[in-house]
Amino acid sequence: MREVAIIGIGQTVVDEHWDKSLKELAGEAAFAALSDARQHKAQALFVGNMLSGILSKQENIGGLIADWVGMPAIEAVKVEAACGSGAAALRSGLIAVSSGEIDSALVIGVEKMTESLPIETTEALATAADAEYEAAQGLSFVALNALVMQRYLHEYRWAHTDFGYFSINAHENASHNPYARLQEAVTEKDYAQARMIAAPINLLDASPTGDGAAALLLVPADSVKHPKNSLITIAGSASATDSIAVHSRKDPLWLSAAEKSATKAYRQAGVSPADIDLFELHDAFSIMSALSLEACGFAERGQAPRLALDGSIKPTGMIPVSTRGGLKARGHPVGATGIYQVVEVVQQLRGEAGFTQVENARIGMAQNIGGSGATIITHILRRV
C-alpha cells in the first residue's frame, strides 16, 4: 500500500447560506482545495454527506458535484455514515489512492441544513439512531446524549458546571477562526445560565448545525516532489462500529468503537496517545468530548472533565482539542464535519492555525462519530 499525502485543503464558512445550493458550497470548497494544491482536477471524487436526500431532496450527488466542478467523466460517489460521513469519505479516498487504483482523489464533505424547519432537521438527524427502538419512541439525539450525560454525572460524581470548560475552550478557539459559525467567547456565567434543552444538556453543551463544505486533495506521497507547504501524510486510518442503539451496549458510558478505531490507528502510525500533539474530537455534545478523551487513552475513566478544568485541552495544554472551535463553535454541518476536522489538523501541522497554533505540532488526530457512537472513524496525520 502506498503512503498518501494531503496536498490541498479548502473550506467554506459554516453559516446559513441562503444564497448557495448544496453543489455550490461543495464547489467552493473543492476549488479552494485544488487551488491550494496547485492542481486543476482529480481522478475520483468521494463526497461525504448524510442528509441531501431528506433535506435537499437530492441524491446522486457524486455525479452532481463532479459535473458542477468540471469533472463530469470521473468516478464519483456519495459516502454515508451519519455524522461520520466525512471521515468515511476520506477513508474511501485514502484506500483508493493507497491501493494504486487511482493517483488523485478529491474528498468533499458537504451538508445543507438550515433551509428546513427545525423539526424537519431534528427528524432527519434521528435517522442515524435506531429507527425501531430509539427514534420511534421519540428520542432525539439531544435526548440520547442527555440520558448518557445524566448517567455520567451520577456515576462519577461530577457537577454539570464542570463540563462548561469544554465549551469555553471551543468558543475561545473559534473566536480566532474566520470559518467558524460562532466566533464569540463564552464565560462560566454564560454556561451556567444557558437555556436548558434536555436536562442536563443546555444550549452551550450542544453544537449548532449549519451549512458548509470542506475538501481535501489526496495523492501518493512519493509523487510530491516540491510541496508548497510541509508535506502532511495520513499515518493511520481506522473505522469501527458498535450497536446503533445506546441501550444495546454493554456499557453506555464507554465508546467502544472509539477505543477500537483509535487503537488500530495508533498501531498503524506507530504512536501512542502521548505522541499526539492535538486531537480534533467530535464534540457534538460536551459529554462526547469526555467519552472520546477517555476511550482514546487521554484520560482515565470518569476523569476527562479534569482535563478541561485544569486547562490541559487548551492550545497550550497537554492534549489540545477543538483548536479551531470544534463542532461546538465552528459548527456541525453533519456530513462535512469529518473533513473540517482534518482540514484543521492539516492547518495545525502546517503551522497555519494563527492565534490557536499548537507549538511544534507534528502529529494530529481527528475522530469523527456517526450516530451516538455506532460508527467511529479515526485518522492520524503526520508532518514529514
Question: Which residues form the catalytic set?
Answer: 83, 332
C-beta separation of 362 from 274 below 8 A:
no
Please state at what angle helix 334-350 crosses helix 85-98, rounded to 10 degrees.
Answer: 60
d(CA 53, CA 47): 13
C-beta separation of 161 from 188 below 8 A:
yes
d(CA 216, CA 34): 8
Residue spans of beta strands (DSSP E) within 65-193? 75-79, 105-111
d(CA 62, CA 76): 5
For the stretch 187-195, contacts whose Cβ atoms lie closer than 8 Å and that sit 24 or more positions apart, written own/partner, are 188/161, 188/164, 191/161, 191/164, 191/167, 192/161, 192/164
Secondary structure element (H or E) that encloses residue 86, with its range: helix 85-98
Reported residue count of the chain is: 384
Q: Write the DSSP string, 30-54.
A: HHHHHHHHT-S--SEEEEE-SSHHH
